[in-house]
């Protein structure tokens, strides 16, 4: 069969490219490219339908290289497909090249950055969901390594994909038996892996990953069982080169020049074959363009309302206005109030159960396909997805995260449920916008702002109800702040956000009684911080400021202000400095030093000088 022979030739070309590229770069992971070369050839030039002229053609089958360290193989595929010049492969890992060590969307065919293992299946599930929402016939293929199947997120994704009946999702696992430092848990016991995927509700088949006909047959059967399909391919790491094949100790090592020469001798010269001819064009498919209203109507909040409730209300309003908005839940939607959206729009909302890593990964996938995913859980539990948030940043993903139940103000549920490190986590992400509303009006505005902003946005919401501070028309631009009750002669500035704005206002009233005048800044945009306003207002109040936040000391609002004003103000920083415990919200604010009475004391000390 000519086709099988051609695919074999393409695979050999991919192997040769991968070896040459990594030797030229002086680093990289050639052996993991060699194990997967036949799989890649069969996927891109055998099974998948895609238009090499347009990475954003909605008719394209999508591909996620979950085993991101096989990046050279992926670049080789695109070179063979005519997407990038062959000679550009030798720029691998150069600072001037988009062919990075692990894939990032700087290369336009990459929809999500990979390289932190075990994340690709969630991203693929998100893309497959998007394709289903689009009513597209296209599918999503994810290439995993066997080593990364030790990551729990793979099983979160597997469970969700099965629950969501994603028959348009295909996982191909390159079971090359060898991890980085040790053989993998199951080595070549492919049945062990098959049992796991089957138990998680997948159609799982085992094939020889170096037999083109077997791979093609397995791929051709994908989805036939009405389930997501896992093709578990027995391969050899370093396949095709005798002295590295199936040998431990060759992870992440390029061949030296003489080794490369020997390897190329074994592989023979670059076989003549035009891979481009083998790409299956997709059936034309146009996505129905969803038209979004420019904004949604605002609520005239009057009564004390929790910002988390206002978030939920606003999310529903936004969802009505913009059909591209979707949501994923980690089984807390009745606490984050995302449930309103879920009830109104079951088709655009997805229950990921208690699996925050998968929730964020699925969001990255949906965002890559043009949807605007909102994901909310307790801020404390977003730490579970820190690595996924990190990779979302490298994916330049347009995702929106909401962390509810922040700080000691949640009260009796205790420290495990308190988000006290979330500002540090999101402030460390370059370009991530961090919004921390103090009342229902600003919470509603935060949702609108998040939707309008292109890129990652984090919204921090509070459990208890808080008084309404702003009129319904108030605007809250990214990078702004609100100066509350400013007068000439103010002696200090209190910088607060969220729940502490209300403590600061109480403190202000208390101080007023003894003739101490202060102004309060609601720093609702924690990142980017409104450094200009803070600098000006604090300078006007004698360079004296108290920053108060319901967050640990490291990486929160206090340090943001300190860094922004370095050298220009005397700051006192009130925050949670020890590991808190269960108690009533007011008791905890008091015990951990962030209540009105502590603010009063701090201002008095500053003013006294």
List the catalytic residues.
356
Which residue in 217, 270, 354, 531 binds its own copies (CB under 8 A)?
Answer: 354
Does position 153 interact with its own copies (CB under 8 A)? The reply is yes
Footprint of its own copies on 428-447 (CB under 8 A): 428-431
Give me the least distance between CB of 105 and its own copies, in Å please: 11
Does position 609 interact with its own copies (CB under 8 A)? The reply is no
Give me the least distance between CB of 280 and its own copies, in Å please: 30
Strand partners, 204: 230
Footprint of its own copies on 261-320 (CB under 8 A): none
Cβ(460)–Cβ(406) below 8 Å: yes
Give me the least distance between CB of 111 and its own copies, in Å please: 15
**What's the number of CA atoms in the CB half-sphere (13 Å) around residue 399?**
31
Does position 333 interact with its own copies (CB under 8 A)? The reply is yes
Residue with tokens 């396949």: 239
Q: Which stretch binds its own copies (CB under 8 A): 75-83, 112-120, 363-371, 493-501?
A: 112-120
What backbone phi and psi angles, to 5 degrees, belong to 306? -70, 140
Rounded Cα–Cα distance for residues 357 and 490 (Å): 47
Which residue in 52, 72, 411, 593 binds its own copies (CB under 8 A)?
Answer: 411
Indicate the residue among 339 and 537 with the shorter CB distance to its own copies: 339
- Residues in the chain, total: 609
Rounded Cα–Cα distance for residues 519 and 537 (Å): 8
Cβ(66)–Cβ(54) below 8 Å: no
Rounded Cα–Cα distance for residues 31 and 15 (Å): 9
Indicate the residue among 467 and 555 with the shorter CB distance to its own copies: 555
Which residue in 215, 420, 441, 516 binds its own copies (CB under 8 A)?
Answer: 420
Indicate the residue among 219 and 389 with the shorter CB distance to its own copies: 389
Indicate the residue among 82 and 555 with the shorter CB distance to its own copies: 555
Footprint of its own copies on 176-205 (CB under 8 A): 179-182, 184-185, 192, 195-196, 198-201
Residue 294's contacts (CB-CB under 8 Å, 6 or more residues apart) are none
Residue 434's contacts (CB-CB under 8 Å, 6 or more residues apart) are 423, 426, 427, 457, 458, 460, 525, 526, 527
Which residue in 266, 334, 479, 512 binds its own copies (CB under 8 A)?
Answer: 334
Does position 88 interact with its own copies (CB under 8 A)? The reply is no
Footprint of its own copies on 362-391 (CB under 8 A): 380-381, 383-384, 386-387, 389-391
Footprint of its own copies on 512-571 (CB under 8 A): 527, 543, 552-556, 558-560, 562-563, 565-571
Which residue in 129, 325, 516, 576 binds its own copies (CB under 8 A)?
Answer: 576
Give me the least distance between CB of 212 and its own copies, in Å please: 29
Rounded Cα–Cα distance for residues 287 and 132 (Å): 11
Rounded Cα–Cα distance for residues 14 and 75 (Å): 9
Rounded Cα–Cα distance for residues 545 and 493 (Å): 5
For the chain, counts of helices (H) and of strands (E): 21, 19
Indicate the residue among 18 and 357 with the shorter CB distance to its own copies: 357
Residue with tokens 């023979």: 268
In order of 77, 140, 209, the CA distances from 58 in angstroms are 20, 12, 29
Rounded Cα–Cα distance for residues 292 and 321 (Å): 6
Does position 404 interact with its own copies (CB under 8 A)? The reply is no
Give me the least distance between CB of 196 and its own copies, in Å please: 5
Q: How many CB atoms lie within 10 A of CB 224?
A: 10
Q: Which stretch binds its own copies (CB under 8 A): 142-150, 440-448, 492-500, 503-511?
A: 142-150
């Amino acid at each position: 069969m000519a086709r099988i022979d051609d695919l074999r030739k393409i695979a050999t070309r991919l192997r040769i490219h991968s070896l040459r590229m990594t030797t030229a770069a002086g680093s990289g992971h050639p052996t993991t490219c060699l194990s997967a070369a036949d799989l890649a050839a069969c996927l891109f030039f055998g099974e998948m339908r895609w238009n090499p002229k347009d990475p954003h053609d909605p008719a394209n089958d999508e591909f996620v290289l979950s085993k991101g360290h096989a990046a050279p193989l992926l670049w080789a595929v695109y070179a063979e497909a005519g997407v990038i010049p062959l000679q550009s492969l030798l720029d691998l890992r150069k600072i001037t090249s988009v062919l990075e060590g692990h894939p990032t969307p700087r290369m336009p065919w990459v929809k999500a950055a990979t390289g932190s293992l075990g994340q690709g299946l969630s991203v693929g599930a998100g893309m497959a969901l998007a394709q289903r929402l689009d009513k597209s016939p296209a599918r999503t293929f994810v290439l995993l390594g066997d080593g990364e199947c030790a990551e729990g997120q793979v099983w979160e994704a597997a469970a969700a994909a099965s629950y969501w009946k994603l028959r348009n999702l295909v996982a191909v696992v390159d079971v090359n038996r060898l991890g980085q430092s040790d053989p993998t848990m199951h080595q070549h016991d492919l049945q062990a892996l098959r049992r796991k995927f089957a138990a998680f509700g997948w159609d799982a088949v085992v094939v020889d990953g170096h037999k083109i006909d077997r791979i093609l047959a397995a791929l051709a059967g994908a989805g036939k069982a009405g389930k997501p399909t896992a093709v578990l391919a027995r391969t050899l790491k370093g396949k095709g080169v005798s002295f590295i094949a199936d040998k431990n100790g060759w992870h992440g090592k390029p061949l030296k020049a003489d080794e490369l020469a020997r390897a190329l001798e074994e592989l023979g010269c670059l076989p003549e074959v035009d891979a481009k001819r083998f790409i299956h064009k997709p059936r034309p498919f146009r996505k129905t363009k969803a038209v979004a209203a420019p904004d949604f109507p605002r609520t005239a909040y009057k009564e004390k309302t929790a910002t988390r409730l206002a978030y939920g209300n606003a999310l529903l309003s936004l969802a009505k206005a913009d059909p591209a908005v979707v949501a994923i839940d980690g089984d807390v939607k009745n606490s984050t109030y995302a449930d309103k959206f879920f009830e109104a729009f079951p088709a655009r909302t997805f229950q990921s159960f208690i699996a925050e890593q998968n929730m964020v990964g699925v969001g990255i996938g949906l965002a890559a396909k043009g949807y605007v995913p909102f994901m909310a859980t307790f801020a404390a539990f977003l730490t579970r997805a820190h690595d996924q948030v990190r990779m979302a940043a490298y994916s330049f993903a347009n995702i929106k995260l909401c962390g509810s139940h922040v700080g000691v103000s949640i009260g009796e549920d205790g420290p495990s449920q308190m988000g006290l490190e979330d500002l540090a986590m999101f402030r460390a992400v370059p370009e991530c916008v961090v919004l921390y509303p103090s009342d229902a009006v600003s919470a509603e505005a935060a949702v609108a702002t998040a939707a309008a902003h292109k890129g990652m946005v984090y919204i921090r919401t509070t459990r208890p109800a808080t008084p309404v501070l702003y009129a319904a028309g108030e605007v809250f631009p990214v990078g702004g702040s609100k100066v509350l009750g400013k007068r000439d002669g103010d002696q200090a500035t209190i910088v607060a956000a969220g729940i502490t704005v209300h403590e600061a206002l109480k403190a202000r009233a208390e101080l007023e009684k003894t003739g101490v005048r202060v102004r309060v800044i609601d720093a609702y945009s924690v990142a980017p911080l409104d450094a200009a306003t803070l600098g000006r207002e604090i300078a006007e109040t004698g360079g004296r400021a108290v920053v108060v936040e319901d967050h640990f000391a490291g990486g929160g609002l206090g340090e943001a202000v300190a860094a922004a004003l370095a050298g220009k103000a005397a700051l006192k920083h009130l925050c949670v400095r020890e590991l808190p415990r269960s108690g009533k919200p007011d008791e905890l604010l008091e015990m951990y030093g962030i209540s009105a009475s502590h603010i009063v004391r701090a201002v008095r000390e500053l003013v006294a000088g």
